[in-house]
Structure 1
Amino acid sequence: MRTQVAIIGAGPAGLLLGHILRRAGIDFVILEQKSREYVLGRIRAGVLEQGSVDILRDLDLDADLRERGLTHHGIYLQYESRRHHVDFLELVGRTVTIYGQQALVHHLLAEHDRFGSDVRFEVDAVLPHAIDSNDPYVTAIHAGEELRIHADFIVGADGYHGVCRPAIPGVSAYERSYPYAWLGILADVAPSTDDLIYALHPDGFAMHSMRSVEVSRLYLQVDPDESIDAWPDDRIWDALQERLGVPGWTLQQGPITEKSITPMRSFVASTLEHGRLFLAGDAGHIVPPTGAKGLNSAIGDVALLGRALIAQQGGDESQLRVYSGSALARQWKVQQFSQWMTELLHVDRRLAPSEAAFRYRSQVGRLEYTTASRHAEAALAEQYAGLPF
């Protein structure tokens, strides 16, 4: 078969790119290795920047977001049992919206179903070919049938472990692993806060987020090699109470319905394109979750790539030629913010006691400066609420 764009990966990047192309009348097919149930069941980040919300609105893909999303005007920074509110709306005139990636994927896929898009799940042995030529193609196996899909362009939205990035000759990576991991839980209890809480504590970082008015999402810093079996529910709640507690405030507890441990790392590919193959989302970069940038980075990529592919169909290839450079320039700004937030709020347990104590007091000093300076607050707010796409 032939299509204009073959998209490998049915996560938020691939599904959203499909909608951008559909509105422009560009044919596409989306191929996903995992099952539909698996894709819909993945629980991921849930903070959308203002720009991400605007893109979904402009594409008429925000119906569910408007109904279920929770708009937040800022975040709380907490340290030394003190809690300070950073008001994004007052500082930079922008907000963020809590809306789980799982809900976004569900809505994007439902809209593809409504429009009859060609989205195929449980596709095996997917491989891009001839990406240096004018006739690239993808081979795969679906429902026992061998596929050969010729396309004008191939987009790799297939994540860090996907097949598209390794298909780029000479591609390299900039990587960093952190000595921290997040133990994340979902709990059936109403949030105990109106805005997200980011807390530095001598025992480690903690965060209070939410998924809805009835479901709370909370995180604890743990060591990367820890087992979830070592964290029964009572121990989790005790640690959250200790790290998030401030005088006059109560953390409400409820049944924990999901818990997992996620290591933290940074990764950026040296390029997001080669010939007729382009990368988007986690296929090209990963950030630690502290700055809430992973999902938004994927949306930023496809906003740029979608515009470039549409312009190419009109005879202008200039945007495609600069896609990788433009996306990576934005990504490195996102990486530095995510790294700054991570190092600001996490305790390094590898250090000797005297060095650990110095580092902790330095972190408190940075937080005190940030919360006392309108300029520092505005810089945080501008980056957290989202850089332009």
Structure 2
Amino acid sequence: MGAPEGPVHEALAALELVDHHCHGVAAGDLDGPGFESLLTEGDRWPGLSPFDTPAGVAVRRHCAPVLDLPRHAPPEDYVARRAELGAREVTRRFLSAARTGVFCVDTGYAPLPLTPPAALARAGGGTAHEVVRLEGVGEAVAARGVDAGAYADAFRAAALEAVRRPGVVGVKSVAAYRTGFDLDPARPSDAEVTRAARTWLARGGRLDDPVLVRHLLWTAVDLGLPLQLHTGFGDADLRLHRADPSLLTDWLHATGGAVPVLLLHCWPYQRRAAYLAAVFEHVYLDVGLTLHHVGPARARAVLEEALEITPFRKLLYSSDAYGVAEFYHLGALAFRRGLGDLLQDRVDADELHLSDALRLARWAGADNARRVYRLPSGH
């Protein structure tokens, strides 16, 4: 099957994307097990290869040619070619192929050494900005040592200092992992925060106290920057039913639209996220992580459900690439092909004018993110 054709596909192919949520890639070379471990959000099971997943199959089909391998190259050939080229060249090839002009990088998750935002920008020939993960800010405050009664003010001050760094354009929370979204939507009092902080600081560990997570979310509102929230699909650390974005409804009412709220990934709740985007002026969504896991073959289906009722100014592109540069290329390819297919078919069926389709493609791929994060205009 050849490349999709049509004016919408051509416009998306030429468009430099704004990737509003992504991560660094492994800074060093990966061996076979190390590479395979980054192909999946799940645990490794003896005798089962992550190459035998939709994402693994998509890598062999769509990423192998970027490394000068035939389509569907065997896994062992793929890993060997990666090692032969080296991490820097592999990253350069895939980020160049992605044609991404702007990277908004979540720097708060780094269990292995990752490329910093500036290195991603150089490899991709674009520009990079930072998104501050607020749970990391709270844990750093605790690690430095703080009295429970001073925690609320210390966290606010540290968060404000973090977002004032050059290049920061937004903040993020992984409350979906830590507590889920079935939280009391009200802003906690300082006395409640002090009591919760006393317990958490005494036991240590991740910031996962429900009161402190609520305090974090409300502090994010006070900061005034766009707030990214992981929702839906992720690794085994979360409880999927508690990562349903519709559980945020009362909190979204309570915030009163003070800051843009960006729902990340969303699968399998993309329709519920679409509802929130349709009824709350300040809610936006992407289906980022989902796209490289379903691959180009199913990207259209996911995007079509996300766009059933979502206002067209509310859909953003993200790859949520992490660890392996392949996911930058796969995410961009899946987004361009999926969105191009569904918009082109609507044009062909006279359900959408071509000029509107081209405008909507440009909005979703770049302009919506530029507007929400107040990024400079593209070329």
- What band does the TM-score fall into relative to the shorter chain? under 0.3
Q: TM-score, normalised by structure 1?
A: 0.26
Greater share of helix: 2
Greater share of strand: 1
Which has the higher Rg, Structure 1 or Structure 2?
1
Q: TM-score, normalised by structure 2?
A: 0.26
